[in-house]
A and B are shown apart, each in its own frame.
Chain A
């Protein structure tokens, strides 16, 4: 890539930092140059976030209709998969899958709920109370 071809598009890094790219200068020698972003990769990142938000909305619907427990919703909000949530809570994957069933979730002790609440950085109350409604504050704009 030539130095003059280095894109300087707007990106989520705006106001945070520019990033280093390696480009050829006029003499054909490599050096560092700073870029504010590239539309192409901003599009890719946007798409990834659109998918995350879809999953969050879908999970909220499932909580609302009583098919899944709030654990699934907050797991999606925090972009966690089973290995990650397992790491933060200490529960096995299959245990988490059980806790995602509303009937099992209802009977969980506050101690166990506390582990999820800590992983999601919310209170046990917020976790218990979540009913699938009012999800705007959890969606990234």
Chain B
């Protein structure tokens, strides 16, 4: 391609590692624009990332589609919105225009968020490269023929050649990124009052998602829905497929990006910070309940691993996993209902 970028100027590159990519992009981009207090739990909480859903008719990698967090893109959108930060987003048809546009932004000296697919991401180990197209990275600049990339889940900065970056920005299939790039514009002064309001708004939204959606698959009741399904899997699918379905749950819950316990520990960390910022000690109790939920999820992952490895494959073992899921459902329903009623 014509017009390869020359090295861009320094933009005070800071690599911030986070558990989840989208939280990481929000944190890094906002901090770059002077929002010093931003961190992963705050981004996750204000952006109302906490969630649970079991999509009954959709399959991912031949197993049920389950998510422990809100839809991709919502955290960035909602955090920025709640803090009054304007965001510019752009999608492209052609990789050539997409690259030119990115280069122009980089020459201005600001980091840019890019949506990418992980299947062709060369620095990920092959075992982790599935066709997941809603991964987020930050491009900081260009140096010696490579883009300088800050991937929030990696410990250090990485780099991609222009061709490699084109390829992941134009991954195809469900949730295709279409070269999408985004960055905050007009980050005004964010004072304490604004932050407090944003935190309250985020909590409110999460309690709504977790308790008020009138579909049993969505929110805290979703765990119970999954529990009901798990009880039937062994008979319906046979031990092997049933075990694979459980493996999918474990992966969605614990795989890179969740911070452990299906995002529950990140949310507990958020509530701990919220208690301090809002001066509401009651929130600590809710933080503890979230820790409990995350711990229960972790114990359950251990149970599921026993089934997956073929050490315990009786119906009773599936029932125990389901029982724990129901317990988590009840715990989160109670916690989020109370949190919803709490005057913040």
Q: Do A and B come from one complex?
A: yes
Interface residues of A (CB under 8 A from B): 1, 6, 12-13, 16-24, 29-32, 34-35, 38-41, 43-45, 47-49, 51, 79-81, 83-88, 140
Task: Using known A-B contacts A40-B250, A41-B250, A87-B173, determine if residue A20 contacts B301 with beta carbons closer than 8 Å.
Answer: no
Task: Using known A-B contacts A16-B123, A21-B19, A87-B173, determine if residue A47 contacts B291 with beta carbons closer than 8 Å.
Answer: no
Checking B244, B248, B301 against A40 with a beta-carbon cut-off of 8 angstroms, the contacting residue is: B301
Q: Which residues of A contact B173 (CB under 8 A)?
A: 80, 83-88
Q: Which residues of A contact B114 (CB under 8 A)?
A: none
- 4 closest cross-chain pairs (CB), A and B: A87-B172, A84-B173, A30-B269, A87-B173
Tell me the minimal C-beta distance from B135 to chain A in angstroms.
Answer: 14
The number of inter-chain residue pairs (CB within 8 angstroms) is 134
Tell me the minimal C-beta distance from B77 to chain A in angstroms.
Answer: 23
Q: How far is the CA of A19 from the CA of B19 in the complex (A)?
A: 7
Tell me the minimal C-beta distance from A13 to chain B in angstroms.
Answer: 6
20 A-B contacts, Cβ less than 8 Å apart? A1-B260, A13-B125, A16-B124, A17-B154, A20-B40, A20-B153, A22-B259, A23-B265, A30-B268, A30-B269, A30-B287, A40-B304, A41-B254, A43-B309, A44-B301, A47-B308, A48-B61, A79-B61, A80-B173, A87-B173
Binary interface encoding of chain B residues 4-33 relative to chain A, with 1 for a CB under 8 A from any of its CBs, else 0: 000000000000011100000000000000
Most buried by A among B40, B119, B172, B295: B172
Q: Which residues of A contact B257 (CB under 8 A)?
A: 19
Q: Which residues of A contact B266 (CB under 8 A)?
A: 22
With A20-B18, A24-B291, A88-B173 given, can you name 18 additional A-B contacts, CB distance below 8 Å?
A1-B294, A13-B125, A16-B125, A18-B155, A22-B19, A23-B260, A30-B287, A32-B17, A40-B250, A40-B304, A44-B246, A44-B248, A44-B251, A47-B247, A51-B244, A79-B130, A81-B59, A81-B62
Asked if B70 CB lies within 8 Å of chain A CBs, one says no
